[in-house]
Amino acid sequence: MPETPSVARRSERARAAILTATTELIGELPYSKISVEAIAARAGVGKQTIYRWWASKGAVVFDAMLEMNSGPEGLALPDTGDIRADLRTLLRGTVVALTDPGFESFLRAMLIELQQDSELAGMYRERLLLPERAAVTDRLVAAVRAGQLRADANLELLLDLLLGPVQSRWTLGLGGLTEEFADAVVDAALTAFTS
């Protein structure tokens, strides 16, 4: 039986309150201290209301993080006409986000959660990882069309060469994630794919 308009509005208000409460808690607490109970209390709803939409704490936190970082046009890279500059902007932004002292430990906890929860890992892949990769690929395709990259460039390999080093250094805790490192990754990756 479909929801009546007033029930649908109440449901949407409750869902919005849950995501807002989760976003606030993300800014205030380490991941381990956030609980479904804390989210429910902050949102003014019962736990069962949260479980109506999300299977776990990780799932609601992931949705809140997506909402925090999504724009009205979805995922898209800037296209200034200079692929090197655009990729540097992308990787520099990634480095800044991953090394934010107030957020890094939270992101590391989410990474652990993804490894332990296959349903959440699937959501991450489908709703964040693949769309991000598609957005970067779209920008690379535009660079090929503009003659900034070789026509025979293996874009999947180029994508991995761009994103892999930053992700690897962060995941393994190797440090050295700076804007200079991001620029060096872009320069090294593009060297193999420019004429």
Q: Note the pLDDT tens digit of each residue in 51-82.
A: 999 988 999 988 888 887 665 455 678 899 99
- Interval 30-34 mean pLDDT: 87
- Interval 135-163 mean pLDDT: 96
The span from the CA of 26 to the CA of 106, in Å, is: 8
What pLDDT is stored for residue 169 in this prediction?
Answer: 95
Residues 6+ apart with CB under 8 A from 173: none
Would you say residue 151 has pLDDT above 90? yes
* Alpha helices by DSSP H, the chain: 5-28, 36-43, 47-53, 57-69, 83-98, 104-116, 118-124, 130-145, 155-171, 179-191
In the chain the domains, ranked by start, together with CATH numbers, are 5-56 (1.10.10.60), 70-191 (1.10.357.10)
- Interval 107-120 mean pLDDT: 88
